[in-house]
Amino acid sequence: MAYVADTNIGTELQWLSSLKGDTGIAGPTGSQGSDGLSAYNLAYVGDSNIGTELQWLASLKGDTGLTGVPGLRNTGTRNCRN
């Protein structure tokens, strides 16, 4: 819509850059917020059947993955591509 109103605004990037004004003065410092919930507490709110915190932590470990592809053999030179 801005381009329709004024075709001399340049490219979209130039127009977007023109929207940023000077930095204003800093506002007052806000009050200290309260401590947030731990990851366990957040999970517990979503599902109260997750067990104790230790049980929940143990449940985060998945099964062992597949063995990866072997890497390059170290030939003792500085350049591994040799």
Task: Give the model's confidence band at 1: pLDDT under 50 very low, under 70 low, under 90 confident, else very high.
Answer: low
Q: What is the tens place of the pLDDT at every residue in 21-31?
A: 889 999 999 99
The secondary structure of residue 19, as a DSSP letter, is T
* Percent of the chain scoring above 90 in pLDDT: 49
Angle in degrees, CA 54, 57, 58, rounded to 5? 85
Mean pLDDT on 30-35? 93
- Does position 18 have pLDDT exceeding 90, yes or no? no
Q: What is the amino acid identity at position 71?
A: G
Structure tokens at 34: 């309260």
Q: At which residue do the structure tokens 């004004």 appear?
A: 21
pLDDT of residue 75: 72
Query: Whole-prediction pTM value?
Result: 0.39
Q: Which of 19, 21, 56, 59 is nearest to 41 (CA)?
A: 56
